[in-house]
């Protein structure tokens, strides 16, 4: 197990703000967009969520790592965060399922981290100034000149305009068998899909075919799907024109569609709406969302820095000719669009995470809603 260290490390933000702490995980230099996540649990799921690729994640909960790392809870094949910021890493691992410490896991996946800084101060700064580029410097890099560190941070690519799907997607198709009564094949475009999503879809009777992000409509048709699903993922939806084009082909072919997170943004763009970058995004497991179809308020898990620009009241026509569309879900903290529903074609999406590992599970019913939509479409086709 990695022991506590006094090796120095520094977090540098692009506005010149500096926070000096201790090295945690791997040593070296890492650059990315600094964002904060408010969950008090589920750090393993956060670290292994591909949507965090290209980002340095700050945990607002002060004590991280007490349950270690295990082989049951990862959301993907590796840790994806570019860097990790915590205040007080646990000195011991206290969970019977753990087979590694968090510090060791960070080191094994070459993730440069920092501990021992005032994470509340960094969070408050980002809340005021907005998400920004940053860098963590430790080991030999901790001795770089302050101006050189800042130069490296400001030279890093911004998240706006980045397409990261190819970095996180599978290289070849992968299949997960349906659980229980089989509905049919489901084409899942892997833009950074989480394991919990795959399991939830399989438990609804879908044979889940996870496809690489660069497939064509012919590749989708080749598996004879009953529906198509777009996953969560990192990057700017405005930089994913090919994925939007494929989705328009999917909608025009009449396949039922469900999208989560990045998939919601891409559905919005396919329907003809714009997207924009949020000041500091939504990341955590305690975000209140209104489901306008039921009037119910749900506590939900989020991880998104972009949002769809669509009217939140009433019904509007799709600018791209797909009929009537309504905003189905709204974030109650800031009125951000959190879901879309097409009224004339079988398609809907949500911006948050109904698979929600590690919780909450208020929105898990959306997988049932998708299953029911697919079954209704099959009945309609058989008439």
- Structural domain spans, the chain: 8-155, 165-382
pLDDT above 90 for 42: no
Q: Tell me the average pLDDT across 154-164.
A: 94
Catalytic entry in 19, 125, 243, 353: 353
What's the CATH fold of domain 165-382?
Rossmann fold (3.40.50)
With cut-offs at 50, 70 and 90, classify the pLDDT of residue 383.
Answer: low
Lowest-pLDDT choice from 148-152, 216-220, 286-290: 286-290
What is the pLDDT, as a whole number, of residue 378?
A: 87
Question: Mean per-residue pLDDT for 232-249?
Answer: 97
How would you classify residue 294: left for phi > 0, otherwise alpha for psi between -120 and 50, otherwise beta?
Answer: alpha
pLDDT of residue 36: 92
Asked if pLDDT for residue 2 goes beyond 70, the answer is no
Q: What fold is seen in the domain 8-155? A: Glucose Oxidase; domain 1 (3.50.30)
Q: Is 355 a catalytic residue?
A: yes
Pick the catalytic residue: 45, 243, 261, 326? Answer: 261
What confidence score (pLDDT) does residue 382 get? 67
pLDDT above 90: residue 67: yes
- At 174, the pLDDT band (50, 70, 90 cuts) reads very high
Q: Is-same-fold flag (8-155; 165-382)?
A: no
Asked if residue 3 has pLDDT above 60, the reply is no
Average pLDDT score over residue span 83-112: 95
In terms of Cα–Cα distance, which of 224, 210, 135 is closest to 172?
210
**What is the pLDDT confidence band of residue 1, given thresholds at 50, 70 and 90?**
very low
Is the pTM of the predicted complex or chain greater than 0.85?
yes
- pLDDT band of residue 107 (cuts 50, 70, 90) is very high
With pLDDT > 70 as the criterion, what percentage of the chain qualifies? 98
Average pLDDT over residues 377-381: 82
């Amino acid at each position: 197990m990695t022991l506590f260290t006094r090796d120095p490390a520094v977090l540098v933000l692009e506005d010149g703000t500096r926070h000096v702490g201790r090295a945690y995980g791997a040593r070296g230099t890492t650059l990315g967009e600094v964002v904060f996540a408010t969950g008090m649990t589920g750090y393993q799921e956060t670290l292994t969520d591909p949507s965090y690729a290209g980002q340095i994640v700050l945990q607002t909960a002060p004590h991280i790592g007490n349950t270690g790392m295990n082989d049951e809870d990862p959301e993907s094949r590796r840790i994806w965060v570019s860097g990790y910021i915590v205040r007080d890493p646990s000195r011991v691992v206290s969970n019977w399922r753990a087979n590694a410490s968090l510090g060791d896991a960070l080191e094994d996946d070459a993730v440069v981290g920092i501990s021992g800084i005032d994470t509340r101060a960094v969070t408050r700064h980002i809340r005021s100034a907005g998400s920004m580029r940053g860098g963590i410097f430790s080991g030999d890099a901790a001795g770089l000149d302050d101006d050189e560190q800042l130069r490296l941070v400001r030279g890093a690519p911004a998240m706006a305009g980045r397409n990261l799907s190819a970095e996180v997607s599978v290289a070849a198709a992968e299949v997960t068998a349906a659980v229980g009564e089989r509905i049919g094949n489901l084409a899942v475009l892997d833009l950074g899909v989480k394991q919990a999503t795959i399991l939830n879809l399989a438990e609804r009777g879908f044979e889940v075919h996870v496809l690489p992000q660069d497939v064509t409509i012919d590749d989708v048709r080749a598996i004879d799907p009953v529906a198509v699903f777009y996953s969560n993922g990192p990057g700017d939806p405005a930089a994913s024109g090919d994925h939007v084009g494929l989705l328009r082909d999917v909608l025009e072919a009449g396949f039922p569609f469900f999208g989560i997170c990045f998939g919601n943004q891409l559905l919005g763009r396919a329907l003809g709406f714009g997207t924009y970058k949020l000041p500091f995004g939504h990341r955590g497991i305690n975000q209140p969302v209104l489901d306008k179809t039921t009037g119910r308020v749900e506590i939900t898990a989020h991880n998104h820095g972009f949002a769809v620009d669509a009217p939140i009241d009433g019904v509007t026509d799709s600018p791209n000719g797909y009929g009537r569309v309504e905003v189905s879900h709204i974030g109650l903290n800031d009125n951000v669009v959190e879901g879309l529903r097409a009224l004339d074609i079988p398609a809907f999406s949500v911006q948050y995470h109904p698979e929600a590992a590690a919780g909450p599970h208020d929105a898990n019913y959306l997988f049932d809603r998708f299953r029911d939509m697919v079954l209704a479409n099959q009945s309609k086709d058989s008439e």
